[in-house]
Structure 1
Amino acid sequence: MNGDVTVVGGGIAGLVAATRLAEAGADATLLERRPDLGGRVRTETVDGFTLDRGFQVLFTSYPAVASELDADALDLRTFAPGATICRPGSRATLSDPLRDPRGAIPSLLNREVSVSDKLRTLALRYDLAQREEASFFGGPDASIREYLRDWGFADDYIGNFVEPFYGGITLDRSLSTSKQVFEYTFRAMSRGAIGVPAAGMQAIPEALAARARDAGVDVETGADVETVRTAGQGRIPFRTGSADAEGATVELADGSTREADAVVVATTPPEARRLTGVESIPTEAVPNATGWYTLPAGESFETGKRILLNAAEASPNAVIPMSEVAPEYAPDDRALLAATFLGEAAQDRPADALREDVRDALAAWYPKREFGGLETVDVHRIPFAQFAQPPGVHDRLPDPDDPEGPVVLAGDYTEWSSIQGALASGREAATVATEYL
């Protein structure tokens, strides 16, 4: 295959699209506005601590992970299955006995969830395991809360476990997100592990970038794209007609241009809509904030490598024992915790107030311990952590070939909001783009 392709955006989707096109024989150039690659999947180092840009994890059973990444090379550190349900004076383990036999007895003794709901969870697990991959994001839809009630789960189970657990996954403790996200991720958790690379989540785009460069992709960072125009007709969305289009032009903010037979737009949803004019690109944002905290030297913090879910309050939604799961995230003598805060309110609350919420929660959950020495390492406030996914949204998402002319979309917003969606969309965009080469 011959032809020139310009990929706009160096996040996960853009990296996969550029790599796939280069491996197929195209001359691929990737333009990224920032000085580094990775998009929303980034990691920084602060005072010797490894901090991901917001709490993120990798589901090892995602199909696109197997096709686009070498999970072994990422050196993953994995969480124990399930979680710990916490409220003042009480911590109760809820795990998957099929994947975590040692957690079977504590889970059985857990009084936060009834025996019938535990059995119902196993039945749901079995039901979803029988589903075909292509069946999840289509057909009748409902909210997660409605879906679980239809299954017969009690309000206590939904409130004590699902609200905080899926609040962390969908950033929506109200459980108004599409049930399709719940079904897909619930099955993924029953099939594999959840973890983080020892070097931080940015190891994922770094691995994809290395593969891209090995394939011959010309990567340009600091390249801010201003417009995308189809040949002879100005800015899209003017239709060129078909795969016989004569190419497109990318104009950068510095006035320079790039000519290509095809362009893949792999930016954030708002920027992709601006560049392409495709109105079906979702731009309603779901925000999130993640606080990173450390305890004084010598104060270890052990949870059995499980996420601590706040069943009593919404702030923090959950506390995550990062250095217990991944010791590389913290200096040898320190413990690193992450805490998630949902909604718009957390975007404006002072860092000290967020820390006090975490300190109060830990003191209530562990009444025999002292947490006066809890210190803030950093707070990440992310206004656009995911695009909103209410029931029915996945039927309305754009197709990769929706833009006019030889322009293709790549981003999780063409699939669903996740690393799986981003990886899969990059591969699909590359397939579509080859029609113009």
Structure 2
Amino acid sequence: MDADVIVIGGGLAGLACALRLQREGLRPLVLEAADRAGGRIATDERDGFLLDRGFQVLQTWYPAAQRLLDYEALDLRSFYPGALVRIGDAFHRVSDIWRRPAQLPEMLVSPVGSLGDKLRLLALRRRALRGDLADLYARPERSAPALLGELGFSERIQTRFFRPFFAGVFFEPELEVSSRAFEFVFRAFALGDTALPAGGMAQIPLQLASRLAPETLRTGQRVERLEADGVRLADGTRLRARATVLATDGAAAAGLLGREPTATRGTTCFYFAAPEAPFAGPYLVLNATGEGPINSLLCPSNLSAHYAPAGQALVCVNVFGARHNPDALETAVRRQLRDWYGEHVDVWQRLAVYRLPQALPVQHAGVTAPQGPMRVGEQLWVCGELAAPPSIHWALASGDDTGADLSRGLRTGSSPGPRPRTAA
């Protein structure tokens, strides 16, 4: 027997599962096809800059993240609770007045929405924070725009704030996502900080991986086929275990299970090196003009000096979709940036462009919270994207819960898991 449990996938769900198994005295073996752990969460180093692969942030409210991560060691750097919104030919600051009450006068005159819209934000906040997560995911479901319309929000604030801000989270330009998914994200923004680890987002999976016993994580190990008592790797190696956990991204998991992959949304992310940041402060910049390709912009080096060499700034620009010609898209992006920030943009140097066609699963109607670990075979379990909604919280929670359930069964010698749910 090569291990007690083989965990396929070294992303957050797989790492959380393996850590729980290890804490319970079992021997997990994590097989990761890539050359590093982390799944979608990765940070590349280039010319002294740290480049996260796409727009990724940590919401510090996430309950599973609070349990499983050491925030102090991650040295988290928080964004301003709000955003800079481009409306017409000017930027306007939008603030969370529950966190920044001194900004109430500024918010009252902001052109982002009417006074009634701003008062309705209180009702939306109360709604999103009411009850626990089980209650939130049991509410009647509709699209996020339908919910906002029912609550009385004007088209103006939907266009100038909700769509550019939350559509950038889901990679859905029209914010056509489940109202449950929308309320979950709204709750996260309301109750915690939006942050980056000082050394890049990859520090999150690296922190988890560092807690595993030596030889537990094997990178460059692609699983070709699932077998009754283990797996077969692409090089023909056969590995056996008492149970197997499938913790890959949705597309890879569907392939191993012989199913159709889940639909995804894509994004394109440009990184530029600049002599100085185009704005001061830890802000997210949103495009509410209705024109140009840019959805959002940020300067990670404004939050942490580790993101850029001394005397330089890192600028990150995010665009919906991943089917663009990068060079043609860059021309359009630079044209819009020049309108916003002037000729200084001309000297910015492109460091990298990430086209991520499978950046995030779609979150249309049918979003539910996990009702327990998911078993799809006698000794085969699934955690991560096929078992839970996409987010850092649900990846960690799904992996940890699956590891806990498996460990109970394996320690007693019984079939793991009390009444496991079956995959649809």
**TM over 0.5, yes or no?**
yes
After superposition, the CA RMSD in angstroms is: 2.0
Which residue is equivalent to 1:4? 4
Structure 1 position 134, deviation (Å)? 1.7
Which residue is equivalent to 1:283? 262
Q: Deviations over 1:362-384 (max 9, x none)?
A: 333345x6322122110011111
Give the direction of change, closer, same or farther, for the CA distance of 1:16–1:192 in structure 2 (3 Å limit). Answer: same
Partners of 1:67 and 1:194 in 2: how far apart?
A: 17
Corresponding residue SS for 1:137: helix
Corresponding residue SS for 2:245: strand
Please state if 1:349 is matched with 2:325: yes
Which residue is equivalent to 1:245? none
Which residue is equivalent to 1:373? 347
Which residue is equivalent to 1:302? 279
Please state if 1:265 is matched with 2:246: yes
Structure 1 position 121, deviation (Å)? 0.6
Structure 1 position 276, deviation (Å)? 2.8
Corresponding residue SS for 2:91: strand
Partners of 1:8 and 1:392 in 2: how far apart?
A: 26
User: How do residues 319-338 of structure 1 correspond to structure 2 at under 5 angstroms?
Assistant: 319-338=297-316
1:389 to 353, 359, 363: 363
Partners of 2:137 and 2:325 in 1: how far apart?
A: 36
Which residue is equivalent to 1:166? 166
Partners of 2:371 and 2:358 in 1: how far apart?
A: 19
Structure 1 position 137, deviation (Å)? 2.1
Which residue is equivalent to 1:416? 389
Q: Deviations over 1:323-346 (max 9, x none)?
A: 112222111211111111112xx4
Q: Deviations over 1:94-114 (max 9, x none)?
A: 111111234333322211211
Give the direction of change, closer, same or farther, for the CA distance of 1:135–1:10 in structure 2 (3 Å limit). Answer: same
Identical aligned residues as a percent:
36
Structure 1 position 271, deviation (Å)? 1.6
Structure 1 position 303, deviation (Å)? 4.2
Partners of 2:306 and 2:353 in 1: how far apart?
A: 20
Which residue is equivalent to 1:238? none
Structure 1 runs (4+) greater than 6 angstroms displaced = none
Partners of 1:154 and 1:59 in 2: how far apart?
A: 27
Partners of 2:210 and 2:158 in 1: how far apart?
A: 42
Which ranges of structure 1 fall in alignment gaps of 5 or more residues? 231-247
Q: In structure 2, give the amino acid aligned to 1:331.
A: P
Partners of 1:73 and 1:430 in 2: how far apart?
A: 24
Which residue is equivalent to 1:364? 339
Structure 1 position 223, deviation (Å)? 1.2
Please state if 1:293 is matched with 2:291: no
Which residue is equivalent to 2:413? none
Q: In structure 2, give the amino acid aligned to 1:372.
A: D
Partners of 1:111 and 1:348 in 2: how far apart?
A: 32
Give the direction of change, closer, same or farther, for the CA distance of 1:378–1:330 in structure 2 (3 Å limit). Answer: same
Aligned residues: 407
What's the TM-score once normalised by structure 2's chain length? 0.91
2:227 to 210, 226, 229: 229
Corresponding residue SS for 2:377: coil
Q: In structure 1, give the amino acid aligned to 2:285.
A: L
Which residue is equivalent to 2:416? none
Corresponding residue SS for 1:359: helix
Which residue is equivalent to 1:53? 53
Q: Deviations over 1:48-96 (max 9, x none)?
A: 1100011100000000111110111100111001111103421111111
User: How do residues 23-172 of structure 1 correspond to structure 2 at under 5 angstroms?
Assistant: 23-172=23-172
Partners of 1:301 and 1:86 in 2: how far apart?
A: 14
Which residue is equivalent to 2:377? 404
Corresponding residue SS for 2:350: strand
Give the direction of change, closer, same or farther, for the CA distance of 1:115–1:180 in structure 2 (3 Å limit). Answer: same
Give the direction of change, closer, same or farther, for the CA distance of 1:228–1:399 in structure 2 (3 Å limit). Answer: farther
Contact 1:4–1:260 (CA under 8 A) maintained in structure 2: yes
Corresponding residue SS for 1:136: helix
Which ranges of structure 2 fall in alignment gaps of 5 or more residues? 411-424
Contact 2:295–2:319 (CA under 8 A) maintained in structure 1: yes
Structure 1 position 282, deviation (Å)? 5.5
Partners of 1:24 and 1:217 in 2: how far apart?
A: 18
Give the direction of change, closer, same or farther, for the CA distance of 1:314–1:366 in structure 2 (3 Å limit). Answer: closer
Q: Deviations over 1:127-169 (max 9, x none)?
A: 2222212222234211111110011100010011111111210
Structure 1 position 349, deviation (Å)? 2.0
Q: In structure 2, give the amino acid aligned to 1:340.
A: N
